[in-house]
Structure 1
Amino acid sequence: MPNTGMSHKLARAVGDHGEEIAANLASEWGWQIIERNWRCQWGEIDLVARDGSTLVVVEVKTRRSARFGAPVEAVTRAKLGRLRRLAWAYAREHKVQASLIRVDVIGIMLRPGAEPLVQHLRGVA
């Protein structure tokens, strides 16, 4: 993590809060949340959900300011490739029969005294 002046504990709390917001939104959209913070030897998936017959792997990026850009801008091409591999690893390990696997990114900008700004990018990888 780059040195942004934010402690690891605070960064984790911000990330956890963003993941909670994203999970609640996904549930409102009718998705079934299967797992949160699934880990394997190759990395971590923030949220695993079902959108109908589609297995959705979600990367959640949360920020408290735009100082370093929009949250979704923090998801690099390399990260997207890793998420795609993690999605297939999850499906294999859990014997998930998904007719389609999709990777989404949900960016959340926390704003003091206001509702968070949410950006949802579907099928990014």
Structure 2
Amino acid sequence: MHFSNKKIGILGEELAQKYLVKLGYIILDKNYRCKTGEIDIIGKDGECISFIEVKTRRSNSYGSPGESVNYIKQHKIYKTAQMYILKKKLHKFNFRFDVIEVILKHGSNDFSIKLLKDAFQL
């Protein structure tokens, strides 16, 4: 089964969203875009708003998926989160930045998923 990187990313985001719902998150937004960037998933975990970056790979050959969320990407997510907070008037909430790593097993519908809560801070 051959997938393009875009299709792999979309599949990873769908799996991540289902996983978060099972964990009790309330999904507030998906693929939120503004002039500063994009956030894959925005969810509410208890009294905390979580800005979630989903990274999907076929293997760990080049390191874990979360390792690709470098400082530049973190900064873009942070700036985008600020815009979301202003737009939605969510100042009263606590916030954090999570990363979900999805590894798609080759040749099957099997996958592994890992949530990294509070993966970075700026």
TM-score clears 0.5: yes
1:30 corresponds to 2:24: yes
User: How many angstroms does 1:17 deviate by?
Assistant: 0.3
- Work out the number of aligned pairs and report it: 118
SS in 2 for 1:22: helix
Identity of aligned residues (%): 32
Give the structure 2 partner of residue 51 of structure 1. Answer: 45
Question: Please, what TM-score do these two structures have when normalized by structure 2?
Answer: 0.88
Taking only aligned residues, the RMSD between alpha carbons, in angstroms, comes to 1.8
1:99 corresponds to 2:93: yes
- 5+ residue gaps, structure 2: none
Question: 1:70-91 deviations in whole A, cap 9, x for unaligned?
Answer: 1111110221122122112111
Q: Which moved more, 1:67-76 or 1:54-63?
A: 67-76
CA distance in 2 between counterparts of 1:64 and 1:26 reads: 21
SS in 1 for 2:12: helix
Question: Please, what TM-score do these two structures have when normalized by structure 1?
Answer: 0.86
CA distance in 1 between counterparts of 2:77 and 2:42 reads: 11
User: How many angstroms does 1:97 deviate by?
Assistant: 4.2
- 5+ residue gaps, structure 1: 1-8
1:86 corresponds to 2:73: no
1:10 corresponds to 2:7: no
